[in-house]
Amino acid sequence: MEEIQKNQDTVNKSQDTVIYIRYDPVMTMAIDLLPILGNKKKVILRAVGNSIPNAVAVANIITEKMLHGNSKVEKITLDTEAAAGIGSMTSNIEIILVKT
């Protein structure tokens, strides 16, 4: 039974649409995301380091301005990874948006 659940989780994760947020203009990224969210029920935004504020801004624009009442933030995951041997750390964020 546990093996079936693991396989279903793997299938569901592979069907999710992952969008990597970089340094493009925030409004452009939000507009580009609209048709993707229109075709999929769930979209995952991922950003690393200094592009994290852009990911948060895109999520806010989508949920509060463009699809107000028709989408929501399902989950936000924050993490920090240490670079091997250097001692520097890199933060990353994952924001899951869903249509309601």
Q: Would you state the pLDDT for residue 8?
A: 40
Q: Would you state the pLDDT for residue 59?
A: 95
Q: Would you state the pLDDT for residue 88?
A: 81
Query: Which contiguous run of DSSP H or E holds residue 89?
Result: strand 89-99
C-alpha of 74 from chain center: 10
The pLDDT profile of the chain, 100 residues, written as one tens digit per residue, is 344 433 344 444 556 789 999 999 999 999 999 999 888 889 999 999 999 999 999 999 999 999 888 899 999 999 988 776 677 888 999 999 998 8
Q: Would you state the pLDDT for residue 52?
A: 95
Return the amino acid letter for 56.
V
Torsion of CA 37, 39, 9, 70, to 10 degrees: 50
Q: Would you state the pLDDT for residue 72?
A: 92
Q: Would you state the pLDDT for residue 7?
A: 38
Q: Would you state the pLDDT for residue 2?
A: 42
